[in-house]
Amino acid sequence: MVDALGSACLLLGAFLMLSGGVGVLRFPDFFTRMHAAGVTETLATTLILFGLMLIAGWNIVSFKLVLILLFIMITSPVASHALAKAALHGKLQPLVDERDEQ
């Protein structure tokens, strides 16, 4: 049962990574692409690492995976925020649909 749950987490994480890649290719501007990459990367990485922890069982490998997960959870949002601030500082403006402003 634990292996099946771990495999399900791995598959769902892989699907989210794939959907994030499609979002990066399909979205129209930098900010929406960065959002697709940042959000799916954080969630997909969490699911993949959680699935690996379930399959590995509780040992030193799981402890190392928890440390990797903590590192990703801290650095990914910070990196996304830094990229967005740098883009805004570089005068890159988000695309806005004129119909949304009415």
Per-residue pLDDT of 59-93, as tens digits, reads 999 999 999 999 999 999 999 999 999 999 998 88
d(CA 45, CA 68): 10
The pLDDT tens digits of the residues spanning 40-66 come to 889 999 999 999 999 998 899 999 999
Residue with tokens 């119909």: 99
Burial profile 24-38: b = 16 or more Cβ within 10 angstroms, e = fewer: eeebeeebebbbbbb
- Indicate the pTM of the whole model: 0.82
Q: For helices 2-26 and 30-56, what crossing angle results, to 10°?
A: 170
Check: CB of residue 51 under 8 Å from CB of residue 10: yes
